[in-house]
Structures are given as structure tokens and as C-alpha cells.
Amino acid sequence: MTAELQHTLAKSAGFSGTSLHTGEKVTLKLQPAPVDHGIKFKRKDLADEPTIDANVANLKTVERATTIGEGAVRVHTVEHVLSALSAMGVDNAIIEMDANEPPIGDGSAAPYVEVIKKAGTAAQEAPRRFFDVREPIHVESKSGSLLVLLPDDKFRVSCTQAGPNNRFTQFFSAEISPALYEREIAPARTFVYYEEVAPLMEKNLIKGGSLENAIVVRGDAVLSKEPLRFADEFARHKILDIIGDIALIGPRIRGHIIAVKPGHAANADLARAIVKQHAKITALSVPRTFPPGEGGLDINQVMEILPHRFPFLMVDRILGFEGETKCTGMKTVTVNEPYFAGHFPGHPVMPGVLQIEAMAQVASILLMKLAKSASRIGYFMSADEVKFRKPVFPGDTLFIHAELIKARSNRLAKARCSCVVNDAVVSEGDLMFTFLDK
């Protein structure tokens, strides 16, 4: 099973321009960063060049843009560059700036995609971190925003955008991948409704705003230097913003965000709710590491990994691992097993279904060792080609073999398994199972 690896930039690259809200000239440069570094902003214009982690804990304000800060240091309007880095598959990077706000470019994320492509990306020797959505999370705002996060095996965003009096109602939905993002989402530009311009200017915002880098909607008219790039450009830009704001949670999401009239404040509320849920799940599952090498595991180590307990723990010991794909366990079958009281009185035989369970438990240990995490549980999905060749009696010692034959992502796996007594196969089968966090 091949885990998705973290990525950083292959080299540094950048560009210069005007910032949207402050109107200042700014040069931005993206730099590579080590494993588990995450995304950090570095203020090159300040003494000691302080850095700010791009995470939810540092969220400050969400007035028409997302601002993060630590102490007195701030970085404004981070959503476009974060959106591009996240969607283009960059996990670790330093964003150097000589002002407090990135360049707005043409109001889209396309300039950032170009910089990332210019720098290139490089895989790193560590698996990506994911948040697998297991139950719905939703947030609502008084302004009418509604965001729901649902379970999904990919990252998808669906957005319905509507302006004042439901003008320019649009819908767009997509599974987010680097290729789709670059083509369908990154070029979508920021927009503003004419009636909101004066209040924003009164708040000393959008000083760098112009028809060069934003679309202005006045009544039913669209004011822009060029025509709309997409008929649903507003909905697409809202998805761009959602990706950037949600990137502040850290781990990548496997889930489906459904958004109705989203905004930065609602996006931030969803990000906080995700972090809260993630913390709750993490607290319930203390990660355990496997002993290095191919040696075995004693019963105490087995019980640290498997959640099963008497009378359903079907593995007494793991004898050893062979490479990344094979594992052998054992179980001593005694007459004291609780199932012998009824299966069958006077002729005790180990139930075949419990032999399958023993195979599944050994296969689960193999997969968790491969994933380098014991904080998950394997669940049966199917059992194929199952055969019971000989009965198993009290006094027998089961040697349980599992070999990984198929894996998809780090959630689905298929293992060929067998139980052996005195060098003879007594049962066998191909088991398919999925893994979920405990």
C-alpha cells in the first residue's frame, strides 16, 4: 500500500504586484520547507523577519478577506495563495513577503498557480496527514450562509452563490484536483457588489482595488476590464476562497463541502468546527508505533494494536513480518475457549467464522504496520474464495498467515489469508476490509 506523500516546492519562485486592501507594492516569494513544516508566512520587511503559522489558531479577522496573526504581526488576505498551494498539492512552504498583504494580481489565484508551476513540486519522505470526515459538520450564519461537510473518499466542494436579492445566483461543483483547480477554479476572480464599495472604502479597505483586479456588479450589469471568464465565475471564486480558508485546518480533507452563500466568516466557523472535531477524534485514538524491524509482537503489544478483547481476541502472538506484505500470527486453541460450550458439546470444533476472524485480525496488524499507525480499526467488507479444509480441535495451534495482495489509498486493502495446523491448511480466503480511525 502506497501512502500519499507530503510535497514541498522544488525551488523558490515569486512575483510582485499591488495588494488589494492596503494598496501597497509587495513582492512575494514561495520557498521550499521541510517535512511537517506546514505553510508559514515570513514578514521580510520587519525586524527579525517573524513568521506566522497559517492555521486556525492564528485567525484574526474575516472582513472581506482572511487575516492571520501572531502577537502584533499580521498578514492580510491570505486566502488566494493558500488556496493555490493547497489545491496544487503543496503541504510545506514558506511564503516570504515584504509587506503585510500578498499581491492581488488579477483578483484570481491564477498568478499563484503559475508561480507554483514555475517552482515545481517535490515529494518528501513522510505521509500526508488527512482528516477523514466521519459524520456531518455544519455551520450557519445570521447573514444566511450555510456550510455542511459530509463524508466522502475525495475532497469535493459544491457551492451555490447568490448576491443581494438573489441576483446572479450561480452553482458550481467539483472534485478538487490540481489539474481541475488550475483549469476551472484558479482563474475565477474576486468580485464585489457596487452597493458594498462605499462601506468598504469607509473602512479603509480595497485601496488597491480596480477593474484590473476585481469584478464590480452594479444592478444587473457586470463591470470588468474583461468579460466573465465563466458564466458561473462568482460561484467558482467562492470555492477558491473556501479551499484557501479551509487550508488553515492543517490536514487535508477527505469530505464534501456543500456551501450556500458562503463568506470568509462562515468559512472560518467551519474551519474551527473541523479542528474541534479532529481534536476530539485524535484524543480518542492515541497513536501507537510498531517496534522496528521484522520481529514479532507479544500478547501485550498485540492488545495495544487491536481493540479486541476476550473472548474475541483471536491472536496470541505475532511471530514475525516478512517484508512489507506478509505477516504470521498464532493462536493456541484450548478446551477452555467459551465457544466450545455450545459448538459442539461432546465434539468440540472451532467455528470456521472465528478462523476467518483470526485471519482478519492478523491482516489488520499487517496493514497497520504498513501504515505506521495503530490508531485505526479494520472492518470487514467481503470474504471471497473461503474454504474450510479440515476441522480445528482443542489442543491445536493455529498458524495464521496473511499476505497483502491489493491496496487502494490507505483505506482499502485485500489480503490472502490461511490458517495452518501441523503444516496442513485448515482454512483460507481472500479478505477485503476498510480502515477507519478509532
Question: 56-91 pLDDT, tens per residue?
Answer: 999 997 777 899 999 999 999 999 999 999 999 999
Residues 102, 28: contact at Cβ < 8 Å? yes
Closest CA to 89 of 171, 155, 148: 155
Place of cell 483470526: 358
The C-alpha atoms of residue 326 and residue 363 are separated, in whole angstroms, by 9
Which amino acid, residue 20?
L
pLDDT of 253 reads: 95
Question: 203-239 pLDDT, tens per residue?
Answer: 765 666 667 778 888 888 888 888 999 999 999 999 9
Mean pLDDT of 236-251: 97
- Answer yes or no: is pLDDT of 338 > 50: yes
pLDDT of 173 reads: 97
What global pTM score does this model have? 0.67
Which amino acid, residue 294?
E
pLDDT of 75 reads: 94
Alpha carbon separation from 352 to 17, 213, 389, 393, 438 (Å, rounded):
70, 68, 10, 11, 27
Half-sphere exposure of 155 (CA within 13 A, CB side): 20
The C-alpha atoms of residue 87 and residue 154 are separated, in whole angstroms, by 13
80 assigned to active site: no
Residue 371 in grid coordinates: 501504515
How does DSSP assign 161-208, residue by residue? E--GGGTT-EEEEEE--HHHIIIIITTPPPEEEHHHHHHHHHTT--TT
Question: Please, what is the average pLDDT of the chain?
Answer: 89
pLDDT of 282 reads: 66
Most confident of 52-66, 246-260, 291-305, 319-333: 246-260
Cα–chain center distance at 140: 23
Helix axes 233-246, 264-284, angle to 10 degrees: 40
- Answer yes or no: is pLDDT of 117 > 80: yes
Place of cell 495495544: 304
- Answer yes or no: is pLDDT of 409 > 80: no
Burial of 80 from C-beta contacts in 10 A (0-12 / 13-18 / 19+): buried
Supply φ then ψ for residue 344, to 5 degrees: -115, 140
How does DSSP assign 74-120, residue by residue? EE---HHHHHHHHHTT--BEEEEESSSS---TTSSSHHHHHHHHHH-
Alpha helices in 209-339 (DSSP H): 233-246, 264-284, 299-305
pLDDT of 367 reads: 81
Closest CA to 63 of 271, 206, 179, 253: 206
Residue 374 in grid coordinates: 495503530
The C-alpha atoms of residue 168 and residue 219 are separated, in whole angstroms, by 10
116 falls in which pLDDT band (50, 70, 90)?
very high
- Answer yes or no: is pLDDT of 374 > 60: no
pLDDT of 291 reads: 62
Please give the helix or strand (H or E) that residue 355 lies within, else none.
helix 352-371
Cα–chain center distance at 109: 21
Cis (ω within 30 of 0) for the bond into 311? yes
Q: Can you count the helices (H) and strands (E) in the chain?
A: 8, 25
Question: 135-189 pLDDT, tens per residue?
Answer: 899 999 988 999 999 999 999 999 999 988 888 899 999 999 999 999 999 999 9
The C-alpha atoms of residue 347 and residue 335 are separated, in whole angstroms, by 11
The C-alpha atoms of residue 360 and residue 368 are separated, in whole angstroms, by 12
pLDDT of 373 reads: 58
Cα–chain center distance at 215: 32
Query: Which residues does residue 387 pair with via DSSP β-bridges, in sequence order?
Result: 428
Q: 7, 76, 80, 264: which is the annotated catalytic residue?
A: 264
pLDDT of 166 reads: 84
Evaluated on CA atoms 308, 314, 318, 321, the torsion sign reads negative
pLDDT of 438 reads: 55
Place of cell 466542494: 157
pLDDT of 1 reads: 42
264 assigned to active site: yes
